[in-house]
Every structure is written in structure tokens, then in C-alpha cells.
């Protein structure tokens, strides 16, 4: 598993690393299964999540899997910051937010995402 817990400014953040997987939806799905279980183990409304999708394309076969995972884990997530989502990927992410009700905040840099997550 590539994803891991990190700490920033005294806050524990779950860094979900989906970066640099290009068109490898099989690897994204595998990573998603593993992070799904970790988030579900966290108390309700507690997890600070940083999802990194830089250099990874979200293919149509990933949408239902991502929707299901987001729906299942949203009660455990306090805040989600997302990296690498622009253009059509942003449109798909906005659809995910509408479907699941899990708000996402998009960032251009990892540092700005960490600062926002650690604010609260």
C-alpha cells in the first residue's frame, strides 16, 4: 500500500496516494480498497484525508467504485483535501460530491492542502 498516515502541524492526516498511476485503474482500485478499510476504522467525523490524484486519470470504470467508497466512508471523514484534480477530472469529482454528499476541497499544492486540513 502506498497510502500512509502523516503528521502536519500536530494533526494526523491520512495521505491517500493515488498519484502517478496514469491509466492504471486496476492499481487505483487496489489502493482504494486498502484505504477504504483504514478510513472505516476511524471514529465518525474524525479523519483528515489528503487524496493525491496527480498524474492519474480517472477512467469511467473507476467512477462507480469511487462513489461506493466515498458513500461508505463519508461519515468517518471530517475534511478531504484533493490534489491533481483539474479539467474533466474536476467535473467528475464535482459529480462525486453531488452523488455522495461528501464535500471535497481542491488544492494546487500539497502544502496548501495540509495547511487547510490542520486548521481545524
In percent, the amount of the chain with pLDDT more than 90 equals 68
Partner residues linked to 5 by β-bridges: 14
Please state the domain extents for the chain: 4-119
pTM for this predicted structure: 0.89
CATH T-level topology, domain 4-119 = Transcription Regulator spoIIAA (3.30.750)
Residue 101 has pLDDT above 80, yes or no: no
Query: What share of residues in the chain are helix, strand, coil (percent, to 5)?
Result: 45, 25, 30
Please check the confidence at residue 97 and state whether its pLDDT lies above 80.
no
Amino acid at each position: 500500500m502506498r497510502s500512509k498516515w502523516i503528521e502536519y502541524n500536530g494533526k494526523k492526516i491520512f495521505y491517500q496516494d493515488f498519484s502517478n498511476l496514469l491509466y492504471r485503474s486496476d492499481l487505483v482500485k487496489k489502493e482504494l480498497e486498502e484505504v477504504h478499510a483504514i478510513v472505516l476504522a476511524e471514529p465518525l467525523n474524525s479523519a483528515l484525508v489528503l487524496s493525491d490524484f496527480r498524474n492519474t486519470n480517472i477512467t469511467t470504470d473507476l467512477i462507480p467504485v469511487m462513489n461506493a467508497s466515498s458513500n461508505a466512508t463519508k461519515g468517518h471523514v471530517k475534511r478531504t483535501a484533493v490534489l491533481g484534480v483539474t479539467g474533466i477530472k474536476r467535473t467528475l469529482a464535482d459529480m462525486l460530491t453531488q452523488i455522495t454528499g461528501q464535500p471535497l476541497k481542491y488544492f494546487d499544492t500539497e502544502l496548501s492542502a495540509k495547511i487547510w486540513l490542520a486548521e481545524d
